Structure 1
Amino acid sequence: MASCATAFLSHHCPCWPAKARTRTCLRKRSSVKAAVAAKQAQKTALQYRKLGDSDLEISEITLGTMTFGEQNTEEEAHEILSYAFESGINALDTSEAYPIPMRKETQGRTDLYIASWLKSQPREKIVLATKVCGYSERSSHLRENTKITRVDAANIRESVEKSLKRLGTDYIDLLQIHWPDRYVALFGEYCYDPSKWRPSVPFVEQLKAFQELIDEGKVRYIGVSNETSYGVMEFVHAAKVEGLPKIVSIQNNYSLLVRTHFEIDLVEVCHPQNHNIGLLAYSPLAGGALTGKYIDSTSEAARKGRLNLFPGYMERYNKSIAREATIKYIEVAKKHGLTPVQLALGFARDRPFVTSSIIGATSVDQLKEDIDAFLSTERPLPPELVADIEDVYKRYRDPTLF
């Protein structure tokens, strides 16, 4: 009897009706097909992840918008935004400083272009992130009554009120500090210079200012950007001790060319079992350098690229050693049958500590290529490919700094 039951369960029992066996086999085939279809769909659709401790479910690609109003017209911005949204991207990243490069004549245009697009969109389905500028003596046009921007209560409130007005919305899903109020080594500076230390707004004071805006319903969650492990830990500690809102995200530079700073200790700090802070990785294509378009400086793509349109901007990506590293990564991509874009975006996508990669584009075609590369690359990248990436990394550790 036991053997008959076993056979019955395995669909081979001689006393089990043939029709019943056929129906079960068909169901099994159907479920297998459904599983295969589901797996295939997963490969061709963006995934969504929780951002840190928040209840924000964001797409694994976030649309960066800093070219809107400088390199892109309002119409082009709308086309890019619509294509992103239709492709499953639900997170947009902007800043009071945008577009970049920062100029008094263009400041805020990015938000205005987003606002005119938002009017026809379901606001609740879009995760809107923006940023308040950190300490700056060159951003006087951002504030009414001060020549220096700070991350204090007055500056934060003025920034948020103006951002809400420009964006045409009642609330911001994620408000980030664009760069710290205190001195930190930033944007290609390769080490901390103790002589540049200066007094800064206390972490508790910054969090209390954010708490007021959260209580008023103008901000849902807060995060940091261009931050260090020291800053993250101070914010987390201050929030815990004072009962203030905790940061849920960190937006830092991360790519094949810029890895070490985040991987050495911020990964530990932000780990879900430690402080659970999600990384929004910006410049996963290293300002476009990892596409390979700047290798031939005479090409049309290179001439039209941001690194050449704005002399001095992100020049660290065009240094000789960075170019050498880029060439090596392009060789790895070719060896494994990938484009440079597929390699760079596939790498960022697969890092377990990356919640979302911030990808900007100046055309729908460019954005389409980026999204397609993100989705078409094998998930996760094959071990032999990862090994080749690590071999290059061992020879060129963060080449933008040296």
Structure 2
Amino acid sequence: MDMKPLGRTGIEVSDLCLGTMTFGTQTSEADAHRQLDMALAAGINFVDAAEMYPVNPMSKETVGRTEEILGNWSAANKARRDEYILATKHSGAGFMHARDGAAISAETIPVAIEGSLGRLQTECIDLYQFHWPNRGSYMFRQNWDYAPSGHNTNEVLENMQECLEALQQQVDKGNIRAFGLSNESAWGTAQWLRLAEQMGTPRVASVQNEYSLLCRHFDTDMAELSVHEDVGLMAFSPLGAGFLTGKYQGGAVPKGSRMDLVPTMGGRKYERVFGAVDAYLAVAERHGLDPVHMALAWCRTRPFMMSAIFGSTTVAQLEHILAGKDLRLSDEVLAEIGQAHRAHPMPF
């Protein structure tokens, strides 16, 4: 397992990260705890959560359950707390199941952090992330009609400043160690960096955006910013929400899968997606590679990649992923992946 720097914090994380968004719905607490044991044993030291988890489905009744499951494991394994880096997120504007949809602000940050600390049963969150910008985001297929308008620039920057001041207070209290973004743009990330330098407050250490063979928005402006500013990508959905496993090809919808629970796949389900998946499956087959292992190994080759966050609904899925954790792709495979991308650019 390769270790990567978490921004400029001095913290190091494994370049594979255990995602937990199914813990409490599709994944039982017993299986979730077993996955945590397995991931740590395999050399993964990075666990990502959010106060709004679990999802698939998401409901008011289950919000916070994932953090509670992680907290119960932590309480039973107190001596192991220094073995892993724990990340979670503050839900922002519009998420009605937390603080009635209030935006991220100096008022909500301490409340949200105290809630997460309690559920996680820990004294400190290693990486605290803002789940999405108050001003909106082009992520989650909103890029098709997203317009960066309707917000007063000065008000946006003033909110960023007050949030950074509130984060500094949490660092001073020992409640958090580092600060990260999620579903952010190049402009937004640059402003957080500029203001933090100007104010002497926590610097953005990471950005968690969607990234996979099927979703490569990060490859342009965000990639350049990431590399030059040491803001590593935490890639969510590196398996294309499961499409890249091949399990949805030919009209298949496995019982209990994400597509079974969310038929639109969060707006990802388009006819041209299946053609792109076929192209990547063909590359894997020609080279005798497992497509899951190939997709994750490819993500880990990217120069801006800090850690690829994978989710495992079952223990068997985690065992499958861990079996490919040491795979390195040849130049020939990488070249063929590039050809497939040119033939099937941005299928969703």
- Structure 2 length-normalised TM: 0.94
1:284-304, Cα deviation, whole Å (9 max, x unpaired): 1011110000003346xx333
Q: Give secondary structure in 2 for the equivalent of 1:304.
A: coil
Would the aligned equivalents of 2:128 and 2:178 in 1 still touch at CA under 8 Å?
yes
Would the aligned equivalents of 2:241 and 2:265 in 1 still touch at CA under 8 Å?
no
Residue 239 of structure 1 is matched in structure 2 by 196
Matches within 5 A, 1:188-267: 188-191=141-144, 193-194=146-147, 197-199=150-152, 200=156, 202-259=159-216, 261-267=217-223
Residue 304 of structure 1 is matched in structure 2 by 256
Q: Give secondary structure in 2 for the equivalent of 1:141.
A: coil
Structure 1, unpaired ranges of 5+: 1-45
From 11, 31, 50, the counterpart of 1:95:
50
1:363-383, Cα deviation, whole Å (9 max, x unpaired): 1110111121232x2x2x211
Would the aligned equivalents of 1:183 and 1:198 in 2 still touch at CA under 8 Å?
no
Residue 42 of structure 1 is matched in structure 2 by none
Would the aligned equivalents of 1:297 and 1:303 in 2 still touch at CA under 8 Å?
no
Percent identity between the aligned chains?
A: 38
- Structure 1 position 192, deviation (Å): 5.3
1:217-269, Cα deviation, whole Å (9 max, x unpaired): 1010000011110011000010111221111111111100011x211111111
* Paired letter, 1:135: A
* Paired letter, 2:341: Y
Residue 332 of structure 2 is matched in structure 1 by 384
Residue 125 of structure 2 is matched in structure 1 by 172
Higher Rg of the two aligned structures: 1
Residue 294 of structure 2 is matched in structure 1 by 343
Structure 1 residue ranges (4+ consecutive) displaced by more than 6 angstroms after TM superposition: none
* Paired letter, 1:395: A
Aligned mates of 2:146, 2:308 — CA distance in 1: 30
1:110 maps onto 2:66 in alignment = yes
Aligned mates of 1:180, 1:327 — CA distance in 2: 34
Matches within 5 A, 1:335-374: 335-374=286-325
Would the aligned equivalents of 2:20 and 2:48 in 1 still touch at CA under 8 Å?
yes
Q: Give secondary structure in 1 for the equivalent of 2:275.
A: helix
Residue 134 of structure 1 is matched in structure 2 by 92
Matches within 5 A, 1:320-339: 320-339=271-290
Aligned mates of 2:277, 2:235 — CA distance in 1: 19
Which fold has the larger relative contact order, with Cα–Cα distance below 8 Å and residues 6 or more apart in sequence?
2
Residue 314 of structure 1 is matched in structure 2 by 266
Matches within 5 A, 1:35-74: 46-74=1-29
Structure 2, unpaired ranges of 5+: none
The CA RMSD measured in Å over matched residues stands at 1.5
- Structure 1 position 311, deviation (Å): 2.9
From 289, 292, 297, the counterpart of 2:246:
292
Matches within 5 A, 1:147-166: 147-166=100-119
* Paired letter, 1:295: Q
- Structure 1 position 111, deviation (Å): 0.7
Would the aligned equivalents of 1:225 and 1:251 in 2 still touch at CA under 8 Å?
yes
1:124 maps onto 2:88 in alignment = no
Would the aligned equivalents of 1:183 and 1:196 in 2 still touch at CA under 8 Å?
no
Would the aligned equivalents of 1:307 and 1:315 in 2 still touch at CA under 8 Å?
no
Residue 85 of structure 1 is matched in structure 2 by 40
